[in-house]
Amino acid sequence: MIDEQLQNAERLVPVPSVGRPEPRAEVSAPQKAAGIASEHAEAVLEARGLNVFYGHFQALRNVSIEVPGRDITAIIGPSGCGKSTFIRCFNRMNDTIAGFRAEGEVLFQNQSIYERRIDVVEVRRRIGMVFQKPNPFPKSIYENVAFGPRINGYEGRLDEIVERALHRAALWDEVKDKIRQNAFALSGGQQQRLCIARALAIEPEVILMDEPCSALDPVATLKIEDLMRELARDYTIVIVTHNMQQAARVSDWTAVMMMSEDRAGECIEFGATNEIFTNPKDKRTEDYITGRFG
């Protein structure tokens, strides 16, 4: 009967961690200024009062977000609000862009990663990234996955490392017979999983994903979402996505970003995913989520 199903749904709705295999305890998230203190999961990545400039243009204003460890945190918001800029601060990919300047703190395991003595290669080894359009190297599947470990001087047999990474990316069975073939022979969804395997091969602690499914068809997208949930057991995942249903399906925590009048991006709300999508606190979040704006 629909009543019973509804009543069951009612019990599910207030509980956080939509989409996780084991439901977790209720989390309350008090807000301080534009930032959030999450009381339960430990924060692995943190931005404190982050301001980002490209030359004179301010791209991010006073963003403070704590990313809990071994959970999936989604960052949503309309186009141009600075989501990609924000996520790329965590592995210092913005350094490659001319005119980039960051003020405030970005912390990884409670240590600032923008200090002078920090080795940016080390940061990128521990915080991996998967991009919007699958970008495998123009080499064989094997070479793609082996490149990271090889240049970082990993010990152990490269074959094993490659196989393990491809297993973890749920790609091994599909490519084990053609591992020396060029990566471009794979489909879009497979290429993206290859990129994930490439990121996993160097054993990061965090995986940043910048709209990883936006160039893929729905079936490939769902496969990658399943993969994300698997990976979240061992890795901290931060995903930027335009697709709100995906954010709702996949993530435990959601940060909502908006562009202010001067086009600087701000974080307007952060909380447990099911809270954000059933009962958001900020009216702008509500408007964005229900499609009344943006």
Partner 1 sequence: MTIAEPVFRRRLFLRRSTALGFSILCVAATLLAVVVLGILLVQVASKGLDRVSWDFINSFPSRKPEDAGIKAALWGTLWIMGITAIFAVPVGLGAAIYLEEYAPRNWLTRVIQVNISNLAGVPSVVYGLLGLAVFVRAMQLERSVLAGALTMALLVLPIIIIAAQEALRAVPNSIREAAYAVGASRSQMVFHQIVPAALPGVLTGVILALSRAIGETAPLITIGALLFVPFTPHGPLDKFTVLPIQIFNWTSRPQEAFQQNAAAGIIVLLAVLLTMNSIAIFLRNRFQANARG
Partner 2 sequence: MTRTAFERQLLAVQEDMLVMAGMVETAIERGIEALKTRNVNLAQQIIEDDLKINRKRYETEDKCLELIATQQPLASDLRTIVSVLHITVDLERMGDHAEGIAKIALMLADEPPLKPYIDIPRMAQVGIEMLMGSLEAFKDRDPARARAICDQDDEVDALYEQVYRELLTFMINDPRTIQRATYLIWTAHNLERIADRVTNICERVIYLVEGHIEELNVSKY
182 binds, among partner 2, partner 1, none (CB under 5 to 8 A by kind): partner 1
Kindly state whether residue 290 participates in binding partner 2, applying the rule CB under 8 A. Answer: yes
Binds partner 2 by CB under 8 A, chosen from 130, 248, 255, 272: 248
What Rg, from alpha-carbon coordinates, does the chain have?
Answer: 19
Binds partner 2 by CB under 8 A, chosen from 95, 163, 230, 286: 286
Kindly state whether residue 184 participates in binding partner 1, applying the rule CB under 8 A. Answer: yes
* Shortest CB 3 distance to partner 2, Å: 6
Kindly state whether residue 218 participates in binding partner 2, applying the rule CB under 8 A. Answer: no
- Which of the ranges 34-42, 138-146, 166-174, 281-289 carries the binding residues for partner 2, by CB under 8 A? 281-289
Kindly state whether residue 214 participates in binding partner 1, applying the rule CB under 8 A. Answer: no
- Which of the ranges 75-83, 121-129, 228-236, 242-250 carries the binding residues for partner 1, by CB under 8 A? 121-129
* Shortest CB 180 distance to partner 1, Å: 10
Binds partner 2 by CB under 8 A, chosen from 105, 244, 259, 284: 244
Kindly state whether residue 185 participates in binding partner 1, applying the rule CB under 8 A. Answer: yes
Site string for partner 1, 79-108 (x = CB under 8 A): ------------x-x--x-x----------
